[in-house]
């Protein structure tokens, strides 16, 4: 059985467990999917099977050669105006934090613009990851390796969010990135880890999957384990330390890293007395070339427990036909 282990207390190198999509021949015929509702006809809610692997997590602070253009992630510092209590107030998050995150991302990535599309606050329940059958008030950490969306899903986000300007935007260089940080720190409980995209064999170790609501289908990226993958985390991360990482890049078709596999893990250096993890994750559209700032943004709704954004769509009379779902990959 896999365990969590402290490899070095000096450099904060540790081992921990992450779930990966099991390599199964059935996925050659059927796309991985998860229904976020109970179908009336007894159709299985998911065909996703995962295998637990023990990984070594390297200290991101000690790595001097990680380049965003290659690894797909970067740390940035932001002295926020937000207090811990402010994260209970959606109006303050939207009025204050979104704008300061947008400015930080724009400066850090040298982008022409950055716009927050949505966000989610997570607060780990005291029982998690042991399921009790109770409904959680907040989303919980994601312990399976994944990328929030595919290139095609990134295009869909742009078309659904900026319908009037979408085709112009899609002709330029864009990225969908996530910005993640704890609400309290230093963080020891279930930190976020990410895989160096340069060590990922995207052709053989990733495949697209579907998150299905009654009124929408959204495509994310499932990840298979490969011992060649190299994983990192930010030990003792502070609220002022933002992790910025890619989920989709328009230039991936020309060789840029498509996205960054990521997951949370049970840190063996944490103590039971340490505060449980509380974090915020913001999803940001980055435009890397000049565009008109007069963009008409449509509303988005955030899907729960899916690590995805799903546009508002009419409610159909019946669930989507799974047999007709597209079988695209990164």
CATH number at residue 220: 2.60.120
**Are 330 and 221 spatial neighbours (Cβ–Cβ below 8 Å)?**
yes
Instruction: Report the C-alpha gap between 164 and 161 in whole angstroms.
Output: 9
Confidence (pLDDT) at 307: 44
Domain count, the chain: 1
Instruction: Report the C-alpha gap between 13 and 68 in whole angstroms.
Output: 21
CA angle 61, 83, 281 (to 5 degrees): 55
**Are 205 and 53 spatial neighbours (Cβ–Cβ below 8 Å)?**
no
Burial class of residue 239 (count of CB atoms within 10 Å of its CB; 0-12, 13-18, 19+): buried
Question: Which tens digits make up the pLDDT trace of 167-206?
Answer: 998 988 999 999 999 999 999 999 999 999 999 999 999 9
**In a domain? residue 329:** no
pLDDT in tens, the chain (330 residues): 446 666 556 688 999 999 999 999 999 999 999 998 888 888 899 999 999 999 999 999 999 889 999 999 999 999 999 999 999 999 999 999 999 999 999 999 999 999 999 999 999 877 767 767 677 777 877 889 999 999 999 999 999 989 998 999 898 899 999 999 999 999 999 999 999 999 999 999 999 999 999 988 999 999 999 999 999 999 999 999 999 999 999 987 666 778 999 999 999 999 988 999 999 999 999 998 544 444 445 444 333 344 433 333 223 333 334 333 333 322
Q: Which domain holds residue 12?
A: 5-324
**In a domain? residue 330:** no
Confidence (pLDDT) at 288: 85
Confidence (pLDDT) at 274: 92
Question: Which tens digits make up the pLDDT trace of 205-247?
Answer: 999 999 999 988 999 999 999 999 999 999 999 999 999 999 9
How far apart, in Å, are the Cα atoms of 272 and each of 1, 68, 73, 190, 260? 22, 34, 30, 12, 30
Confidence (pLDDT) at 289: 55
DSSP states of 30-85 as a string? S--EEESS--TT---SB---EEEEEEEEEEGGG-S---HHHHSEEEEE---S--TG
316 phi/psi in degrees, rounded to 5: -75, 170
**In a domain? residue 302:** yes
First to last CA, the chain: 32
**In a domain? residue 217:** yes
Which residues are CB-contacts of 265 (< 8 A; sequence separation ≥ 6)?
A: 4, 16, 17, 18, 55, 57, 143, 190, 191, 193, 233
């Amino acid at each position: 059985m896999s365990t969590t282990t402290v490899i070095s207390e000096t450099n904060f190198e540790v081992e921990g467990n992450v779930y990966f999509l099991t390599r199964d021949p059935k996925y050659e015929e059927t796309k991985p999917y998860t229904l976020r509702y109970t179908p009336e006809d007894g159709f299985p809610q998911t065909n996703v099977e995962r295998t637990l692997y023990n990984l070594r997590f390297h200290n991101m602070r000690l790595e001097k050669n990680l380049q965003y253009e290659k690894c797909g992630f970067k740390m940035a510092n932001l002295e926020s105006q937000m207090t811990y209590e402010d994260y209970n107030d959606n109006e303050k998050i939207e009025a204050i934090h979104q704008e300061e995150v947008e400015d930080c991302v724009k400066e850090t990535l040298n982008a022409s613009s950055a716009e927050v599309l949505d966000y989610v606050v997570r607060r780990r329940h005291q029982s998690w990851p042991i399921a009790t059958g109770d409904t959680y008030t907040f989303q919980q950490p994601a312990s399976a390796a994944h990328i929030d969306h595919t290139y095609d899903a990134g295009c869909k986000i742009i078309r659904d969010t900026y319908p009037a300007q979408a085709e112009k935007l899609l002709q330029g260089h864009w990225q969908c990135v996530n910005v993640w940080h704890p609400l309290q720190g230093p963080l020891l409980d279930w930190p976020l880890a990410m895989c160096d995209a340069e060590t990922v064999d995207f052709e053989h170790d990733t495949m697209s999957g579907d998150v299905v609501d009654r009124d929408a289908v959204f495509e994310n990226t499932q990840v298979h384990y490969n011992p060649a993958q190299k994983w990192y985390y930010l030990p003792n991360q502070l609220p002022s330390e933002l992790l910025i990482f890619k989920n989709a890049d328009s230039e991936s078709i020309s060789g840029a890293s498509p996205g960054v596999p990521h997951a949370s893990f049970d840190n063996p250096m944490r103590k039971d007395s340490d505060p449980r993890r509380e974090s915020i994750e913001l999803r940001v559209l980055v435009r890397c070339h000049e565009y008109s700032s007069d963009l008409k943004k449509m509303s988005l709704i955030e899907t729960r427990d899916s690590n995805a954004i799903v546009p508002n769509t009419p409610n159909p009379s019946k669930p989507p036909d799974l047999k007709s779902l597209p079988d695209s990959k990164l």
